[in-house]
């Protein structure tokens, strides 16, 4: 097997209308199988290493309009999940981050939220862990009109 054969396989996948992501996943499986053949000394090099993969197009993010955010926040505040949804809407935190918040992470007086934990799935269970990267640990200032404070006893 030569790089050209592998490249033709990846190109054929692309021509069949498969997404760039599917082509990339296929390449991972192919590369892994060829890596094993390399380990067994059936090949001198892994031909999949030289394949140029298609770029995965970036999805355009669509943010809520100000009116949609106000309507969502008003509806959220009427539910038990109101504070969490208010934090999600007003801080831009990732779901794993706001779900990982603990009481001591919120400073109501200074109106700040400390991101130090996140929720991740490990061994089939949801667990509170440190953030994935030290760079993700940060202090977020909440807007002055954040309605979360009304839920504090």
CA distances, 15 to each of 11, 26, 32, 58 (Å)? 6, 14, 23, 20
Residues 13, 82: Cα–Cα separation, whole Å: 46
**Chain segment 54-112, per-residue pLDDT in tens:** 887 788 878 888 899 889 888 888 898 888 888 888 888 999 999 999 989 988 889 89
Return the number of other C-beta atoms located less than 10 Å from residue 25's C-beta. Answer: 13
Q: How far is CA 78 from CA 30, 115, 122, 148, in A?
A: 51, 25, 33, 12
CA angle centred on 153, ends 140 and 108, rounded to 5°: 20
For Cα atoms 102, 108, 111, give the angle at the middle one, nearest 5 degrees. 105
The pLDDT tens digits for 118-147 are: 999 989 999 999 988 888 899 998 875 555
pLDDT digits (tens, 9 = 90+) for 86-98: 888 888 899 999 9
- Total residues belonging to the chain: 153
Please name which of 25, 23, 30, 26 lies closest in space to residue 48, comparing C-alpha atoms. Answer: 30
Give the pLDDT score at 108: 82
Structure tokens at 65: 């309009």
Residue with tokens 């390449």: 27
């Amino acid at each position: 097997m030569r790089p050209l054969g592998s490249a033709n396989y990846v190109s054929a996948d692309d021509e069949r209308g498969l997404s760039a992501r599917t082509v990339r996943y296929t390449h991972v499986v192919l590369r892994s199988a060829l890596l094993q053949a390399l380990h067994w000394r059936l090949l001198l090099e892994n031909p999949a290493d030289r394949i140029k993969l298609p770029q995965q197009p970036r999805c355009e993010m669509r943010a809520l309009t100000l009116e949609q955010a106000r309507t969502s926040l008003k509806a959220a505040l009427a539910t038990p999940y109101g504070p969490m949804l208010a934090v999600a809407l007003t801080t831009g935190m990732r779901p794993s981050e706001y779900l990982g918040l603990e009481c001591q992470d919120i400073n109501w007086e200074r109106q700040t939220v400390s991101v130090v934990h996140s929720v991740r799935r490990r061994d089939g269970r949801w667990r509170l862990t440190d953030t994935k990267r030290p760079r993700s640990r940060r202090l977020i200032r909440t807007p002055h009109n954040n309605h979360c404070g009304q839920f504090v006893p």
